[in-house]
A and B are shown apart, each in its own frame.
Chain A
Amino acid sequence: MKKYSALFRIRFINSLQYRAAALAGLATQFAWGFMEISAFSAFYRANPAAFPMEFSQTVSYIWMQQAFLTLFMMWFWEYDIAASIIEGSIAYEMVRPLDIYNRWFCQITANRLARAALRCAPILIFAFLVPEPYRMTLPPDAAQLFLFLLSVLLALCVVVAFSMLMYISLFYTLSPTGVRLFIAVISDFFAGGIVPLPFFPAPVRAVAEWLPFAAMQNMPLRIYSGNIAGMDAFAGIGLQIFWLAALLAVGRLMMSRALKRVIVQGG
């Protein structure tokens, strides 16, 4: 564990070095969130009755999404992991006394956390200061906040476990870019990255709520905003745990098979 906290620290300090990058990133995400909220507010004005969430919930959803963007977006890619598989330097990794699956899992998690740690606080502070109706609200109570934090953690793990499948698939495919883009796009869409799940038409939503993607950003963002509360929140966290376990199991199985192949073929 010590190794990974060191990794986190290095990445964090590294990203601090680039202050202009950090500021630019903040400005971008802030503007992005602002534009999204403006668009939703236009739809809200058009027909408040058809709005499936409370407007303030949507606002919180969007700000939280921007604040934790780097935690959940599928298209962030660890080039050194991908390169180690494609170029075959994974053979060296196998010599080290660390389980490769765990190692990569922690590396990706640490990287995503380091990126988000720098960005989330300023965005959230802004989001609490901007005037109504753009202002973000706190969750209804402390319990909800706690559930949210738990759910963020689980969602991050689900995202990482899912992206591990993409890395492992590199052992088999030769042309990863297209497939990767495709999967990233689909998963971001069904995780509520473009439009929150409550805005989906009822039949699509009914299916989407059960997919592994629903266990990604969808769950913590809606728990925070209070759109999912009480027993539903517990059920949601249950769904996250289920998908996390399933993805971990599948990932580990695929990994051990892929590694056997590497050994047989000599990398």
Chain B
Amino acid sequence: MITLSNINKTFRVARRQAGFGRAVKALFSREYELIHALNDVSFTIKDGEMVGYIGPNGAGKSTTIKIMCGILTPDSGMCKINGRVPWRDRIAHVREIGVVFGQRSQLWWDVPIIDSFELLRDIYKIDRKIYKNNLDELTVLLDLSELLKTPARSLSLGQRMRCEIAASLLHSPKILFLDEPTIGLDAVSKMTVRQFIKRINAERGTTVILTTHDMQDIEALTERILLIGKGRILLDGSLTELKKRSSRRKTLVVEYNGSAPEITDDMTLIEKKNGRLVISLDPEIFPVSDAIAYLAARTELTDVSVSGITAEEMVAELYREYHI
């Protein structure tokens, strides 16, 4: 159980001046500005939940994660994770969490992966039997058997990320923090990583907190999302609900033989070329089935597909709505 209540955090940042004269002046006196990184942030995450933590760069995502990991102390407010205050009881706390920073590696660059793993076993004082079980399980699930003997420097980004994730799960943490785990990965690796995270969450009941800019991660993984902007929690709810709440409009893509059909005023044309037509419509006004029937009556349709709003579009809409 993770509880954050009324967390505040402010940073003081020196203002850098442009121009020669000002740079000289800054030698003697310097101006500072206060940045409210977190403003009264509160939320609760239950055991075994999978939460997507989203927001634009600089919104306060990583500050929150750092506080939950025990790296940072907040100015005020309380954070309790499994009954502990992370920054007061650091060592006991971090034993129960796993952290993956997508852009920084915890693997040794020049030695085989298995050596890094064994060092982690000693750092976390993992029981040999548990270590062996975990390693075997992770090797199978993440398909690591070929990689374990290779040094990290000769792995591809995707392979390395699989090893990173395994590394942070060796000590069977109750909570897993994933900071942009799919950044820079190719499509296949992304899918493997997502499937794996889902499984770990379902089978081990590991609580997963995921920050990402890739909305497909969110769509594939998390039911609940937390949106943060300018240091405030703006939204806390389920993805489906949010989708419903935002735009209801549907996108209709049809392919046809012969001449292009006329469309009515209730349909908005997005694209039309080479026997392909993309139309956007509001199902409340013009039901999708009616639209298909309407088009089928006017031309020979060869393919039809309907899609709702994507998570990507929805988040873009949210950002616009909250001016963040």
A13 interface residue per 8 A CB criterion: yes
A16 interface residue per 8 A CB criterion: yes
Question: Which A residues lie within 8 Å of B16 (CB)?
Answer: 17
Q: Give B1-30 interface residues, CB cut-off 8 Å to A.
A: 16, 19-20, 23-24, 26-27, 30
Total interface residues on B, using CB and 8 Å? Answer: 8
Question: Which B residues lie within 8 Å of A17 (CB)?
Answer: 16, 23, 26
The reply to whether A19 and B20 contact each other, CB–CB distance below 8 Å, is no
Question: Which B residues lie within 8 Å of A19 (CB)?
Answer: 26-27, 30
A261 interface residue per 8 A CB criterion: no
Residue of A nearest to B19 (CB): A13
Question: Which B residues lie within 8 Å of A9 (CB)?
Answer: 20
Question: Which A residues lie within 8 Å of B23 (CB)?
Answer: 13, 16-17
**CA A17 to CA B30, docked complex, whole Å:** 10
Return A174 CB to nearest CB of chain B, in Å.
16
Interface of A is mostly: helix
Q: Give A2-24 interface residues, CB cut-off 8 Å to B.
A: 9, 13, 16-17, 19, 22
Total interface residues on A, using CB and 8 Å? Answer: 6
Return A126 CB to nearest CB of chain B, in Å.
17
Residue of A nearest to B28 (CB): A19
**CA A22 to CA B28, docked complex, whole Å:** 12
**CA A81 to CA B312, docked complex, whole Å:** 41
**CA A81 to CA B84, docked complex, whole Å:** 50
Question: Which B residues lie within 8 Å of A22 (CB)?
Answer: 27
**CA A22 to CA B26, docked complex, whole Å:** 13
Residue of A nearest to B24 (CB): A16
Q: Give A222-263 interface residues, CB cut-off 8 Å to B.
A: none
Return A121 CB to nearest CB of chain B, in Å.
13
Question: Which A residues lie within 8 Å of B26 (CB)?
Answer: 16-17, 19
The reply to whether A13 and B20 contact each other, CB–CB distance below 8 Å, is yes
Return B100 CB to nearest CB of chain A, in Å.
28
**CA A22 to CA B24, docked complex, whole Å:** 12
* Per-residue contact bits, chain B 142-179, to A (CB 8 Å; 1 contact, 0 not): 00000000000000000000000000000000000000
Residue of B nearest to A16 (CB): B23
A-B pairs with beta carbons under 8 Å apart, 15 shown: A9-B20, A13-B19, A13-B20, A13-B23, A16-B23, A16-B24, A16-B26, A16-B27, A17-B16, A17-B23, A17-B26, A19-B26, A19-B27, A19-B30, A22-B27
Nearest first, the 8 closest Cβ-Cβ pairs linking A and B are A16-B23, A19-B27, A13-B23, A13-B20, A17-B16, A17-B23, A16-B27, A16-B24
